[in-house]
Chain A
Amino acid sequence: MAEHAIDVEGLVREYKKGPRAVDGVDLYVERGEIYGFLGPNGAGKSTMVKMLVTLLPPSGGRATVGGFDIATQGDQVRRIIGVALQEAALDPLLTGREHLYLQAGLNGFPKKQAKERQEELLERVGLSGAGDRKIGTYSGGMRRRLDLALSLVHSPSIIFLDEPTTGLDPHSRNALWEEVRRLARDEGVTIFLTTQYLEEADVLARRVGIIDHGKIVAEGTPEELKAQIGGSTLEVTPALASDRERLETTLSRFGSLAPTSGENGTVGVRLRDRGAAVAEIVRALDQAGVEIANLTLRSPTLDDVFLAKTGRALEAGEGEPEAEPPAGAEAAVVEPEVDLRMAAAGRSKIERLPTAMLKDWMAERHLQEAIESGRRGTPALKITKGPLAGQQLTVKDRLVIGREGDLVIADPEISRRHCVIRVVDGTLVIDDLQSLNGSWINGKRIELPTLLAPGDVITLGTSAIEVTPPPAPSLVSGPAA
């Protein structure tokens, strides 16, 4: 069992006169892995963590953490783990520095080293300036960061974070995510993270375990889990309500019908083929004489996985954060396999394209226009606002923009990999990469790949990028990808 950082076999926690909070859970976490433990309130996440960190004895089963048995080798387990429990357990009357000094001292640091460690960790979590303030004056984000720092005092090899971003604003959440990633990436720390937020599990965890009513209902990488429930879901709204039956019959040829809101006769189909089925479906509907009012392509989310496994949606209940990820954040994920030429069909998103436009697109009229545009030269980009203001650049194939990527913009409002701009048949198409704050074109947030034209202004965080006409060779400068 010791080859994994965490190994759990049939772990059970039973309360007197109550149901099993944890009911025979099996899981493992590899060394250096970020494992997301996802589930709604009351699913058993915190009970699981309390057992693994030795604060609650299991009623049955067994588990090892770092190779030590949680039931019989509690002292050894505690020595190698760091824990930030759901409530940031801090003393409101002590300062940040005093907390860290106390924690370091209790963990055996001599005075001098305790002070050094205290300063090092305050610096790392960005609280040096607030170190002498009492915790009572800290914001939720500052408390969480200090909580994380406290869990790191003795340089643990395994860290348990129980809903670490609940109640945090997007900026604080991003900062915490970044630190969690850094710990796993640079220091090889194993992280067991519980969350009730889909986005958090999706972007942070290499593997995810979904728990409901004390049992693991699904486990795997986010991609594996999504793949388990099939391809993307296509939702089609007929122009005439009377076409609904024909619509269902036609769509059922391409996959299993999926639940939808049912508004305006909308029918959903979970596509068997993740690829180019959309074009075929549109053709089939056309042949069947079904006129389309709206069409939406949505990739599977972890919520779909939860729905498929439990029959209900995963909802953030009590303790919902002040700034929940945008409702569309999950739904806006676009399959990379989707033919980007679709975006070239029109300036609007491919969803809500009227049938006429889809037909036009199928006749490749707009595509031809795009190709013509490409012959005239690919538009360039000029950064007009933000840390890189004044830079001009061209895109050769694709350009990933973010705090990491091909074009690095040091802006905390920008996600690590914020968006990508691709060259498609001589035109530029921008696609948001599930960024937290979104990619905006001319003041409108995009949800699907969108064609860029000269004069468009892209807003990413505090930066603005203007799409300019194809540059003369002498004007080209800046990072080109």
Chain B
Amino acid sequence: MKTSFWRQLGLLARRSVVRTFRDPGSVAPAMLVPLILFVLVSAGLEKATHVKGFPTDTIWTFTLTIAFANGAMVTVANTGQAVATDIEGGFINRLALTPMRSFALIVSQLAGPLVLGVIQAVVFLGVGLAAGARFEAGPLGAVVLVLIFLSAVLAFGAFGIFVGLRTGSGQAVQSIAPLMTVFLFLSSVNWPRNLITADWFYWVATINPLSYLVEAMRSLLITGWDKEAIGFGLAFTGGVLVIMLFASAWQLHGRLVRT
């Protein structure tokens, strides 16, 4: 009996969703850590709105993207850990012995984080709006922000899958998480690029692609419909997604040396 790619994808995606929501270690950090950061950074930067040139007079509007950016980055650990667990526990061998297509396995791993991402987005938006954040681009802008966020979830998720397949180790995946946080803080997530005074930091934030993701989401909150910013953001997430999916497929091919 043969199974279509889509049926395999559906079965494996269902597994990804089920195991994501049964693992408190996946859900709790993805929901709580971004919100805690959002509240802490907002409290710390409250007076920043008085700085000349600061793009908004409501700090919550500026900092809401912190929750989204951080929430997307948590996906790296979630997908990476899931793949590493499958390798360490031998489950990937079980799957390899079925007529499963490798690409279905890779893509399906994104299903759980994607569904979790929708819930994250609703919660972050709710909390943000309740705190006082406003969308310059209106309700449709909120929808587009969620879409950019979900594209980031997929991109970071694919990166996590690549790391998981490359290392085959849950510990290695977990060690990536702090590096990702450093990477995020070296972007314009906490401070507008035009107000960064240290030359080196400005330079690092400019070449850091995460800045463009953050600015794409922030533009919808502060500027309105900035096609260039949105374009850069989507190009970043789309590029990472495509590259990482193919890199993961290559890694899986090497790992599953079934004849």
Contacts and interface: CB of A to CB of B under 8 A. Distances in A.
Nearest to A86: B90
A105 B99 contact: no
B33 interface: no
Contacts of B7: 105
Interface string B123-165: 0000000000000000000000000000000000000000000
B50 interface: no
A90 B85 CA distance: 10
Given A55-B96, A107-B3, A87 B89 contact: yes
Contacts of A54: 97, 258-259
A333 B18 CA distance: 52
Interface residues of A, number: 35
Contact of B2 (A72, A85, A87, A108): A108
Interface stretch (A73-81, A286-294, A427-435, A436-444): A73-81
B102 to A, nearest CB: 13
A90 to B, nearest CB: 7
A2 to B, nearest CB: 18
Interface in A15-32: none
A54 B18 CA distance: 30
A93 B259 contact: no
A105 B90 contact: no
B21 to A, nearest CB: 9
A464 interface: no
A109 B3 CA distance: 8
Given A55-B258, A94-B18, A78 B93 contact: no
B28 interface: no
Contact of A106 (B89, B93, B98): B98
Given A83-B97, A93-B22, A134-B22, A105 B257 contact: no
Nearest to A77: B259
A59 interface: no
Nearest to B91: A89
Contacts of A57: 257, 259
Main secondary structure, interface of B, reads: helix
B95 interface: yes
Contacts of A78: 97-99, 258
A103 interface: yes
Contact of B98 (A72, A89, A103): A103
Contact of B94 (A71, A74, A89, A98): A89
Q: Which 5 interchain pairs have the tightest Cβ spacing?
A: A108-B1, A89-B90, A74-B259, A106-B98, A93-B19
Interface of B: 1-3, 7-8, 11-12, 15, 18-19, 22-23, 86, 89-91, 93-100, 257-259
26 contacts: A55-B93, A70-B259, A74-B258, A75-B99, A78-B97, A79-B99, A81-B97, A85-B90, A85-B93, A87-B89, A89-B89, A89-B90, A89-B91, A89-B94, A90-B91, A92-B89, A93-B22, A98-B15, A98-B18, A102-B12, A105-B7, A106-B3, A107-B1, A108-B3, A150-B94, A154-B1
Given A91-B91, A102-B12, A105-B8, 11 more contacts: A56-B257, A78-B99, A89-B89, A90-B91, A94-B15, A98-B18, A103-B94, A105-B3, A106-B100, A134-B22, A150-B94
Interface of A: 53-57, 70-72, 74-75, 77-79, 81, 83, 85, 87, 89-94, 98, 101-103, 105-109, 134, 150, 154
